[in-house]
Amino acid sequence: MKDTKDLKDQWNASLYDLKHSFVSKFGNDLVDLLAPKKGEKILDLGCGTGDLANKLSELEVIVLGIDKSENMVHQAQKKYPKLSFMVSDAINLDFEEEFDAVFSNATLHWVKPPNKALDGIYRSLKHGGRFVAEFGGKGNVQTITDEITHQLKNYQQTPQFPWYYPSIGEYTTLMEQAGFRVTFAHHYDRPTPLEGDNGLRNWIEMFALGMFEGISENIKEQVLSKVENNLKPLLIKDGIWMADYKRIRVIGIKE
Ligand code: BEZ
């Protein structure tokens, strides 16, 4: 999600679908972990442009997709007019014991404070309901963010860090504090191919512009060129840009 800025909707939903559809493709096996059952009511938290909500609906569940980005929700509704989508912020969920499961792919690393989201997720679930999520864990894309940070500092600029990348210990503790029984937690490396010669640049333009907030276009351009050059030997494998994703997967049960 598509959940990072308060004032401006930074998400370009068409670019997201065109160049970054891997986000929902990788989410397909999170759906297996969710193991949806026919007739269940499921909240897709951070639905983006709706592809996983659509996959869930094909499994005969009743799905509501929510996202903080109006652009994403608009695109999702256009692609899947028969499904239900809504603009909503993960830290202000307004549901009471409505869902059998809350499902979230590639969103919670944008959401701060995490405990506020977890409280809302817990409240949204029926008794016995499950929370199944995947998002960036400690060290996620660190090769990229370290290099951007280093280059920005060379220009006496202070980089922002818009994400929350917890360790398993940190996140499962927060889950327990919210009331969940944590039944599964996994922190793993998932090297992620970025399409095309401009793969790294496109990825930064899509996901990491928050690091450049308040920084001039001119400096941003120079930093991007240096980052690309310096990371080529580290991140191009067999001619393909590979981002050093590290993900967390969790399951929590509301008891
Ligand atoms: C994402 O939203 O998919 C994402 C954001 C930052 C780093 C990696 C992935």
Least confident of 15-29, 183-197, 200-214, 238-252: 15-29
Write down the mean pLDDT value for the chain.
94
What is the Å distance from ligand 1's center to 163 Cα?
Answer: 9
The pLDDT tens digits for 109-158 are 999 999 999 999 999 999 999 999 999 999 999 999 999 999 999 999 99
β pairing state of 240-243 and 192-194: antiparallel
Q: Could you give the CA distance from residue 8 to residue 31 in angstroms, rounded to a whole number?
A: 31
* Contacts of 173 by beta carbon, 8 Å cutoff, 6+ apart: none
Nearest to 223 by CA among 236, 233, 209: 209
CB atoms < 10 A from the CB of 16, how many? 21
How high is the pLDDT of residue 101? 98
What is the Å distance from ligand 1's center to 35 Cα?
Answer: 24
Q: Does domain 13-140+163-194+245-254 have CATH number 3.40.50.150?
A: yes
**End-to-end C-alpha distance for the chain, whole angstroms:** 27
Question: Which amino acids bring their CB within 6 angstroms of ligand 1?
Answer: 23, 106, 109, 136, 140-141, 163, 207, 245
Q: Taking the domains of the chain in order of start, what are their residue ranges?
A: 13-140+163-194+245-254
Which phi and psi (to 5°) does residue 51 adopt? -65, -40
pTM given for the model: 0.93
